[in-house]
Amino acid sequence: MRFLTQIAAMAIVLFARLITAVRGIWQGAEPVPRQRIYFANHASHGDFILIWTVLPPRLRRSTRPVAGADYWLKTSLRRFIGCDVFKAVLIDRNRESRERDPIEVMVEALDGGASLIVFPEGTRNGTDAPLLPFKSGLYHLAKARPTVELVPVWIDNLNRVMPKGEFVPVPLICTVTFGAPVRVDSSEDKEAFLERARNALLALSPKSSEVRA
């Protein structure tokens, strides 16, 4: 099984690079073996795959995406990719059926030594807005483990590679830009922190750079 997961991981990385020629840009952080929470914009099911792809192998092995259990447990193939290949931290997004607090599940993964990939918008952004409002989870996660770096990550162009409702990817060049880490201040309230984190992520967007220029 271990050999099979390694082959599958390699195939996914090669396919992602072939379709997107993805390039990682370390603009405010270095690709060093440090525990982090990477928080990114969310426009496609392939978002965490691109982040995972551009991470150096030594970081990739310890970085786990946080994803919806309802999607990744739906079929045996998805279960294999999500659980065995990516070792995803699966969250029950249904408040009525969930048995554990999602923050508790993520903190448990952090305490196990993993870095996480999270999407604070909570769902894929299908609007014309660059980012949806952030959910409160990022704040509670930051408060629970304040020593873990929070690194904003902007994924550009992937929504055009795999538009919602399409099954055949369109080859286009994508970039994944890592920004400077942020931390929650001890006296900072939820709304102020989420706005600051959201602005840090927006600042990495190429469109934001064009506006500033």
d(CA 129, CA 28): 24
pLDDT tens by residue, 127-158: 888 899 999 999 999 999 999 999 999 999 77
Q: Which helix (H) or strand (E) holds 64?
A: strand 63-68
From the number of C-beta atoms within 10 Å of its C-beta (0-12, 13-18, 19+), residue 139 rates as buried
pLDDT of amino acid 172:
80
Q: Looking at residue 1, what is its pLDDT?
A: 76
Provide the pairing of β-strand 63-68 with 115-118.
parallel
What 8-state DSSP symbol labels residue 19?
H
Enumerate domains of the chain plus CATH numbers: 2-212 (3.40.1130.10)
Residue 212: pLDDT band (50, 70, 90) is very low
Structure confidence at residue 187 (pLDDT): 87
Alpha-carbon separation of residue 169 from 2, 20, 43, 53, 179 (angstroms): 28, 9, 14, 17, 27
In this structure, what token pair is assigned to residue 153? 């990550």
Alpha carbon distance 73, 92 (integer Å): 11
Q: Is the pLDDT of residue 210 over 60?
A: no
Torsion of CA 71, 74, 75, 77, to 10 degrees: 20
Whole-angstrom Cα distance, residue 128 to residue 171? 22
pTM equals: 0.90
Contacts of 2 (CB under 8 A, 6+ apart): none
Which is higher by pLDDT, 171 or 71? 71
Task: List, for residues 15-24, the tens digit of each pLDDT value.
Answer: 999 988 899 9
Report the length, in residues, of the chain.
213
DSSP string of 130-189, one letter each residue: SSPPPPTHHHHHHHHSTTSEEEEEEEESHHHHS-TT--SPPP---EEEE---B---TT--
Q: Tell me, rounded to whole angstroms, the distance of Cα 84 from its chain centroid.
A: 18
